[in-house]
Structure 1
Amino acid sequence: MAYLDNIAVFVRVVELGNLSAAGRDMRISPAVASNRIKELEKHLGVRLFNRTTRQLTPTEHGRVFYDGAKKVLEAVGDAEAAVSALSGQPRGTIRVTAPLGLGRRLIASGIPEFRERYPDIEVRLRLSDHDVDIMREGIDVAFRLGLLEDSSLRMRGIMECERVIVAAPAYLEKRGEPQTADDLLSHDCLMLRYPGAREHFWTLKTEAGPRKLDVRGPYDSDDGDVLTGWALAGHGIIMKPRFEVEPFLRDWRLKVILTDTPPIPVQLAAVFPHKKFQDPKVRLLLDFMAERCQRMIRDILGRN
């Protein structure tokens, strides 16, 4: 088992590029991770990494060994999933990721309940508004608001989510309320941006069909909740899934604008590697979270 653990650490170091990141991911110290790599190199009789002060890059031996090691870990995972399915007692670890707003409101609060039902399953949750590389970071399930673009992944649709364009009354009093889609081009629009971000436009439904608007603003953020805070303070206009801002609409802290040309709805979905759907614990989490998200969003919107 120790040898398999060494292989697992080696694979994560290759994928994440350094011992500290791999150690955090596997919940071991960098020193332990380093010792496991040294044990593996001693066993194989070769050097697996070229070491610099900041990063480890695999040697030619390391690259060759990585390909085989990855297959070994996948085979062990498949075997464990098959045994779990046969025994009816799912166990193991699931790595989950979600955007910050969705994760905080719907996913995170459901993890304890899921664990109560299935105490042998551990859940490691990572929340980020950045696009997480599912394959590179070993993610089992990613909850997303958007379209599936990677054909190497599977998607399970959960529900279509209405989006709205909103602003604080104070902002609208100061700058005037946009009356047409084109009016947005002269307003302060608060954008979710980060390196590699896909959605640089706001797409609205118009009588002539979908209209992409290259909106701009004085500042942006890689955290959607920061944008909401700025909008609440009267600093600009945001586009959000309605369930994320519904409480602020009810107490009139935000107002929906451009109701005749609303944004294109967004799909709430779970994305995962193809093989993961065969894993009983992954299917259990998908079923649990899909039902929970649907129920909670309907409750938030008062649409039961």
Structure 2
Amino acid sequence: MSYLESLRVFVRVVELGSITAGGRDLRLSPAVASNRIKDLENRFGLRLLNRTTRKLTTTEIGRAFYDHARRVIETLDEAEALIGSFSGKPQGVIRLTAPLGLGRRLVAPLIPPFCADNPGIEIRLRLSDRNVNIVEDAIDLAFFLGEPADSALKWRKIAECPRVLVASQAYLDAAGTPLRPDDLAGHNCLLLRYPRSPEYYWTLQTSDGPRKMMVQGRFDTDDGDVLRDWALAGHGIANRPLYEVTQDLADGCLVEVLPANRPLPAQFGCLAPHRRLQDPKVRMFADHAVRELRPLF
């Protein structure tokens, strides 16, 4: 059993707060992950983790050991990336994350052809509409729709993504068609919300410049695809990226609401820790994404 592999397991277990989660991230069973932690503890004759039925924490020495072990793993990954850049055959794992709908429609299709051209690379894609801690979750590249705020991360723009307000004709026939932004106050607005979500208002374009509209609705969700489904079913007005509803609009399943006052476009791009973008395989995937996705906008 490789000592370095055990170090990698220990680092991911600490970062994810669970032996099961750390093992799953490395494609190991909980039993195997637990045994690798025990091997490290037996090697040093010290307890690195405190385990209870509800919680896992590092001991004082375990926390100090984690800091050093993480640097060892990072240095090893950088060395492997350097070798890959000289050999012309990059190898290793790229961890990606993206919002659910964007990930399904735009990011997931990028992966098979990229891996076909680079057989030494594995891709692990995690999709979620919730905020992801890129550094703590060891993400190499995070696809992002909105306004990047973290200056500690490197932002690479792919395109501006237009947004539209949409509803079904059946909903508009029943509730009335908004003719100006203020009319949204009388409508069931379908909202993307979750703990610490920024979307408690919609910013619309007006002749006087961007205007924040406080909007409310009777139900919300943390899954953007559910918003589209609710709009299609006639339950209210949704604020969605244009690429997501282009076909629905063309088919007449959805109608654009307030076309003269579209929401501000969102920035579409990818975020990465500066160090990660120095890895040739991560930079290659970012280049691949920009090349394939930019023409779609």
> What's the TM-score, normalizing by structure 1?
0.96
SS of alignment partner, residue 119 of structure 1: coil
- Give the whole-Å Cα distance in 2 for the aligned partners of 1:74 and 1:148: 25
- Equivalent in the alignment of 2:77: 77
In the alignment, does 2:287 pair up with 1:282? no
Contact 2:191 2:199 in 1 (8 A): no
- Give the whole-Å Cα distance in 2 for the aligned partners of 1:150 and 1:287: 21
- Equivalent in the alignment of 2:156: 156
- Equivalent in the alignment of 2:198: 198
- Give the whole-Å Cα distance in 1 for the aligned partners of 2:54 and 2:119: 38
1:108-166 per-position Cα deviation (integer Å, ceiling 9, x unaligned): 11211111111111001111111111111111111010111112111100000110011
Deviation at 1:55, TM superposition (A): 2.3
1:63-87 per-position Cα deviation (integer Å, ceiling 9, x unaligned): 1111111111111111111111111
Letter in 1 for 2:272: F
- Give the whole-Å Cα distance in 2 for the aligned partners of 1:198 and 1:6: 39
Letter in 1 for 2:164: V
- Give the whole-Å Cα distance in 2 for the aligned partners of 1:97 and 1:21: 17
- Structure 1 residues 293-304: aligned runs within 5 Å: 293-295=293-295, 297-298=296-297
Contact 1:97 1:127 in 2 (8 A): yes
The answer for unaligned runs of 5 or more in structure 2 is none
SS of alignment partner, residue 122 of structure 2: strand
- Equivalent in the alignment of 1:235: 235
- Equivalent in the alignment of 1:170: 170
- Give the whole-Å Cα distance in 2 for the aligned partners of 1:109 and 1:54: 39
Contact 1:18 1:54 in 2 (8 A): no
Range with greater deviation from structure 2 (39-48 or 160-169): 39-48
SS of alignment partner, residue 46 of structure 1: coil
- Give the whole-Å Cα distance in 2 for the aligned partners of 1:32 and 1:239: 45
- Give the whole-Å Cα distance in 2 for the aligned partners of 1:154 and 1:79: 21
Contact 1:201 1:215 in 2 (8 A): yes
Range with greater deviation from structure 2 (76-85 or 222-231): 76-85
In the alignment, does 2:61 pair up with 1:45? no
- Give the whole-Å Cα distance in 1 for the aligned partners of 2:114 and 2:7: 30
- Give the whole-Å Cα distance in 2 for the aligned partners of 1:245 and 1:55: 43
- Equivalent in the alignment of 2:68: 68
Range with greater deviation from structure 2 (230-239 or 142-151): 142-151
SS of alignment partner, residue 267 of structure 2: strand
Contact 2:167 2:238 in 1 (8 A): yes
Contact 2:100 2:128 in 1 (8 A): yes
Contact 2:20 2:29 in 1 (8 A): yes
Letter in 1 for 2:140: D
Letter in 2 for 1:269: G
- Give the whole-Å Cα distance in 1 for the aligned partners of 2:253 and 2:41: 60
In the alignment, does 2:111 pair up with 1:118? no
In the alignment, does 2:103 pair up with 1:103? yes
Letter in 1 for 2:185: L
Letter in 2 for 1:285: F
SS of alignment partner, residue 155 of structure 1: strand
Deviation at 1:206, TM superposition (A): 1.3
- Give the whole-Å Cα distance in 2 for the aligned partners of 1:200 and 1:29: 41
Deviation at 1:93, TM superposition (A): 0.5
- Equivalent in the alignment of 2:130: 130
4+ aligned runs moved over 4 Å, structure 1:
none
Contact 2:189 2:215 in 1 (8 A): yes
Contact 2:94 2:122 in 1 (8 A): yes
Contact 2:100 2:225 in 1 (8 A): yes
- Equivalent in the alignment of 1:31: 31
SS of alignment partner, residue 133 of structure 2: coil
- Give the whole-Å Cα distance in 2 for the aligned partners of 1:180 and 1:193: 24
- Give the whole-Å Cα distance in 1 for the aligned partners of 2:66 and 2:151: 23
Aligned-residue identity in percent: 54
Contact 2:158 2:268 in 1 (8 A): yes
In the alignment, does 2:244 pair up with 1:261? no
The answer for unaligned runs of 5 or more in structure 1 is 299-304
- Give the whole-Å Cα distance in 1 for the aligned partners of 2:281 and 2:25: 20
- Give the whole-Å Cα distance in 2 for the aligned partners of 1:272 and 1:44: 35
